[in-house]
Structure 1
Amino acid sequence: MTRHPMAPADAAWLRMDRPTNLMVVTSVMWFDEVLDWTALRALVQHRMIDRFPRFRQRVVHEHGHYSWEDVADFELEDHLHPVRLTPPAGRQELEAFTSGLVSVPLEHDRPLWDLYLVEGYGSGCAAVFRMHHAIADGIALARMLMSLTDDPEVDPVAVTAPEATDAHTRALAGGVAHELLEALVHPQRLAALVARPGRVLDLARTAVADAEALAQLTVMPPDRQTALRGVAGVPKSVTWSPPVPLDSLRDAAHLSGTTVNDVLLAAVAGALRAHLVRRRSAVHDVRAIVPFNLRPPDQPLPAELGNKFGLVYVPLPLTTADRHERLQEMSRRTRRVKDSAQGLVAFGILEVVGLAPQVVEDVAIDVFASKGTGVMTNVPGPRRPVTLAGTRLAGTIGWGPTSGDLALGVAMFSYAGTVTIGLCVDVEVIPDVGLLLADLLTELDALVAPALAVP
């Protein structure tokens, strides 16, 4: 069978699996009408399986190295699982079904994904997609899932040559150090580099920024202990919000001189503060671990997918009691993080960890997970309604995994003029996910209210 070497960053995610925190990305899509399952199967085959080989390959581990191996007898039906919810089934029943899947490991002797075709959801249906993080990051998965949908005003997702995308990503993440090292090892490259003094200066500046970011990550202490932290267990619970109008968030951001992302993060900070107060826990500022895309958003996904994203630690101002002051402080903190090289350095660390022995990776993951309290993602989706197999997509949300003992995942997905906010928690650490979501929506309402009052 044909084998393909696994990238170090992808191998790192594969080895990060623990029974208490699986490295699996879970996405939910729901519809107000029943899907044509036969048409969906054809779409999945044509736009996913045929385009992206990882979905028909399994993992092989030999002599300490991981590879992707083509499955000669691959059968799409082995990964499609018809499910029927007991009527009347609404959002709570779909949340309960999805929660039960989050802790179910994927079988490593077959391609690392599954799609559940859920009937009996309201007047329509739903689809729950699970994929191991070794295949791709959550941002790439969201783009891949949206490539299954149709919008006559948007060109379909295409596939580029892997070499072009890899080269571009290397230039974004760790390319500076790579270029400097190659110049030192190969005299002819050193001569070419010296002939471009402007490039030398750029490399020096970036190397200093990378070194400073690495130092910051290394000396950053563990996050403060609160009721949001603990020893992770196996059971998880997910929930998500009704759609929040994006225009109201934009108006609130404009009125306060902040951004939509600032408003959302400030609402999360306020909700976490309320959660800690309710549980009579110490209230401290905590750090959110925020992934961001390293792929150019205007370029199509590469055929091999993979993980191409950075991570930054964003301190959330929970100790700021006034919510409007909290929003301004949140804005100041996100502006500082935007100027940091943390994300690119974090990606480089992950690549190194993927080459290290398992025991080294375990220690590294625990150390870096301890520096934050939760993972928070904000993924932009289609601006207009789209259809899947001819049926309009009503809404969607998805979560990346949390590593180590992290117990909180917050996901935000914008679609067709709305934002859906989803929570995924460890029930042994955070037992009241429904109350936490209610707190978050209360905070959002309060932040949006001044903008609504403007005539």
Structure 2
Amino acid sequence: MVTRVTARSAGKQAAQKVARNVQKNVTRAVSGTLGLSGERMSKVDTAWLRMDCDANLMMIVGVWQLAPGVKHAAVCERIENSLLKYDRFRQRVVEDAGGATWVNDRNFDLANHVVLEKLPKAAGGNQQEALQDRVAALATQRLDPKRPLWQIHLVEDYTGSDGVKGSAMIVRIHHCIADGIALISVTMSLVDGGAPPPERRKKNAAATGAEDWIADTLLKPFTDITVKALGAVGEGAARSLGMLGDPKKGMEQGMHGSMDMARILLQVLKDGAAMALMPDDSKTRLKGKPGGSKKVAWCQPIPLDEVKAIGKALNCSINDVLLSCVAGALGEYLKSLGDDVTGQEIRAMVPVNLRPLDQAYKLGNRFGLVPLVLPIGVDNPIERVYEVRRRMAALKGSYQPLLAFSLLAVAGLLIKPAQDMMLNLFSKKTTAVMTNVPGPREKLKFCGSTLEQSMFWVPQSGDVGLGVSILSYGGGVQFGVITDSKLCPEPQRIIDEFVPEFAKLSIVTLMLPWGE
């Protein structure tokens, strides 16, 4: 009898323990889903968090070259007084079944995030190749998931290809923290005289459920933010997009508003079909299964005034001129390896900002993607720049960035295998990811030193093995590439074609029969 009672008591205690554990797990999951134990990560940011794979990590990687040099202690003090004002850089990520939550890192130690690097000495003192190798290695090194997802690697003593002695900083930030436009805001708070981020009001934790997600990720992009970002023309389009966020107001607009809405929705359907039915781009050696290791290269800046002069002479934008030179450099690189590029094109996914710049301090990801097909097979530089201009003009007014943004939002709701299947739509039909960012016109100061050069690369996803970065800064334009070493083992050969392509375009432009 006693044995039976003891067994019954033990069974009851075991059941109660299981019940407590289940309750604890359910409470943890629900509180995470509702954002009660921290700040809930948006579904778009969650999609970026889960997009890491062996071939491509979702990190934004940047390089600063400073002269004269800076010391580790000074950098740490600056980071403490500026970067850490943004909550994200003190928060780690906790994942659960419903997504992820930003949680303050109780064990935060700046020493884990600002680390010293020492490059090997090089003949002639030029350490650029060693710096490129280190950037490439770090681009494939995962950030510690138990800590805030960023790290700065400081090389106190660095000599670049221009012979100037100074320092170099390699910055790695996971894409789930912010997109490139938001990180420009972060950069401006880091430099000398930079303003701290505005005070951010705490979000009501109970209002971060499904309704808030729908409002934040699906309705907001269709309001005036997107109208401004995409350069949509006409009051009718603005009213129509506004109606999606305010249906009651839309009904008051009457028949005229309905006609505008119909046009917008028709364009959305058209762009959606175009994305879904995108043909594969040309099968070049730059496209294939990545090996997982990286190579990085960049060139010295070319004068921005010269780019502007060419654009003005050809009635093209600076963007048209630079993208044409990228297409030419890629074409020449492939031809130098014996490939025939006649009639070939490669598709590059180009990020498009979907937020006003005065909201960039809020971090997170608010951008869409548009597919730009580069005519690498067009040999004549004038013909090529006009073809790029035509294709860029065709993208204006497109809603493909919005559709891509919404696709990422939906992907953030899915389990990783389903998310991977959805996002393979981009990687299978894409050769490159390309960014073209206008930076400050004047050179900035950091800890008393001049920021001489600045480069960064956004990550490639899936099997995409080529990243192209164009950054205008301090009166110059720099062109950089990051490649999978299996698909492109010598990216410097692409870089070496960029300046000659620009020179060719300049010479041919000068030779055109201009009227008096």
Structure-2 residue corresponding to 1:144: 186
| Aligned-pair CA distance for 1:69 | 1.1
Structure-2 residue corresponding to 1:25: 60
Q: Distance in 2 between matches of 1:354 and 1:244?
A: 40
Structure-1 residue corresponding to 2:135: 98
Structure-2 residue corresponding to 1:193: 250
Does the 8 A contact of 1:240 with 1:437 survive in 2?
yes
The one-character-per-residue Cα deviations of 1:271-319 (angstroms, maximum 9, x if unpaired) are 111122222335211111101211212x14234x100111001111122
The one-character-per-residue Cα deviations of 1:39-76 (angstroms, maximum 9, x if unpaired) are 322221222112x2111111111233211111122111
Among 361, 364, 370, which residue is 1:302 paired with? 361
The one-character-per-residue Cα deviations of 1:8-57 (angstroms, maximum 9, x if unpaired) are 1101111110011111110100112111432322221222112x211111
Which SS does the other structure have where 1:332 is aligned? helix
Structure-2 residue corresponding to 1:43: 78
Does the 8 A contact of 2:472 with 2:478 survive in 1?
yes
Structure-2 residue corresponding to 1:289: 349
Identity among equivalent pairs (%): 34
Structure-2 residue corresponding to 1:7: 42
| Aligned-pair CA distance for 1:434 | 1.1
Is 1:372 the counterpart of 2:430? The answer is yes
| Aligned-pair CA distance for 1:262 | 0.7
| Aligned-pair CA distance for 1:342 | 1.1
Structure-2 residue corresponding to 1:392: 450
Structure-1 residue corresponding to 2:174: 132
Which residues of 2 match residues 311-330 of structure 1 at below 5 A?
311-330=369-388
| Aligned-pair CA distance for 1:160 | 5.4
Structure-2 residue corresponding to 1:63: 97
Does the 8 A contact of 1:248 with 1:451 survive in 2?
no
Which SS does the other structure have where 2:119 is aligned? strand
Which SS does the other structure have where 1:130 is aligned? strand
| Aligned-pair CA distance for 1:232 | 0.7
The one-character-per-residue Cα deviations of 1:143-172 (angstroms, maximum 9, x if unpaired) are 312321135xx8665455587xx9798655
Among 271, 277, 292, which residue is 1:213 paired with? 271
* Equivalenced residues, count: 441
Q: Distance in 1 between matches of 2:199 and 2:364?
A: 13
Query: Residues 414 and 169 from structure 1, CA distance in 2 versus in 1: closer, same or farther, beyond 3 angstroms?
Result: farther
Which SS does the other structure have where 1:232 is aligned? coil
Rg larger in 1 or in 2? Answer: 2
Structure-2 residue corresponding to 1:186: none
The one-character-per-residue Cα deviations of 1:121-152 (angstroms, maximum 9, x if unpaired) are 0121111110111111122223312321135x
The amino acid of 2:361's aligned partner reads: P
Which SS does the other structure have where 1:220 is aligned? coil
Structure-2 residue corresponding to 1:333: 391
Q: Distance in 1 between matches of 2:66 and 2:424?
A: 39
Q: Distance in 2 between matches of 1:168 and 1:262?
A: 33
Q: Distance in 2 between matches of 1:117 and 1:268?
A: 30
Structure-2 residue corresponding to 1:173: 221
Q: Distance in 2 between matches of 1:26 and 1:271?
A: 23
Q: Distance in 2 between matches of 1:56 and 1:14?
A: 17
Query: Residues 402 and 111 from structure 1, CA distance in 2 versus in 1: closer, same or farther, beyond 3 angstroms?
Result: same
Which SS does the other structure have where 2:412 is aligned? helix
The amino acid of 2:175's aligned partner reads: H
Which SS does the other structure have where 1:29 is aligned? strand
Query: Residues 330 and 181 from structure 1, CA distance in 2 versus in 1: closer, same or farther, beyond 3 angstroms?
Result: closer
Query: Residues 257 and 179 from structure 1, CA distance in 2 versus in 1: closer, same or farther, beyond 3 angstroms?
Result: closer
The one-character-per-residue Cα deviations of 1:197-242 (angstroms, maximum 9, x if unpaired) are 2554443332222221111101112222111101011110111110
Which SS does the other structure have where 1:412 is aligned? strand
Among 477, 487, 491, which residue is 1:429 paired with? 487
Among 474, 477, 489, which residue is 1:419 paired with? 477
Which SS does the other structure have where 2:379 is aligned? coil
Q: Distance in 2 between matches of 1:117 and 1:228?
A: 32
| Aligned-pair CA distance for 1:90 | 2.4
Does the 8 A contact of 1:248 with 1:452 survive in 2?
no
Q: Distance in 2 between matches of 1:378 and 1:332?
A: 18
The one-character-per-residue Cα deviations of 1:406-445 (angstroms, maximum 9, x if unpaired) are 1111101111111111110011001221111111221112
Q: Distance in 2 between matches of 1:424 and 1:162?
A: 38
Q: Distance in 2 between matches of 1:453 and 1:278?
A: 26
Structure-1 residue corresponding to 2:324: 266
Q: Distance in 2 between matches of 1:331 and 1:130?
A: 33
Among 489, 492, 496, which residue is 1:438 paired with? 496
Q: Distance in 2 between matches of 1:430 and 1:374?
A: 12
Which SS does the other structure have where 1:86 is aligned? coil
> Any stretches of 5+ residues in structure 2 without a counterpart?
1-35, 160-164, 204-212, 224-239
Which SS does the other structure have where 2:177 is aligned? coil
Does the 8 A contact of 1:174 with 1:345 survive in 2?
no
TM-score normalised by the chain length of structure 1: 0.91
| Aligned-pair CA distance for 1:451 | 5.6
Which SS does the other structure have where 2:82 is aligned? helix
Query: Residues 375 and 253 from structure 1, CA distance in 2 versus in 1: closer, same or farther, beyond 3 angstroms?
Result: same
Does the 8 A contact of 1:311 with 1:347 survive in 2?
yes
Does the 8 A contact of 1:246 with 1:418 survive in 2?
yes
More displaced stretch, 171-180 vs 103-112: 171-180
Is 1:72 the counterpart of 2:131? The answer is no
| Aligned-pair CA distance for 1:357 | 2.3
Q: Distance in 2 between matches of 1:453 and 1:247?
A: 19
The amino acid of 1:378's aligned partner reads: N
TM-score normalised by the chain length of structure 2: 0.80
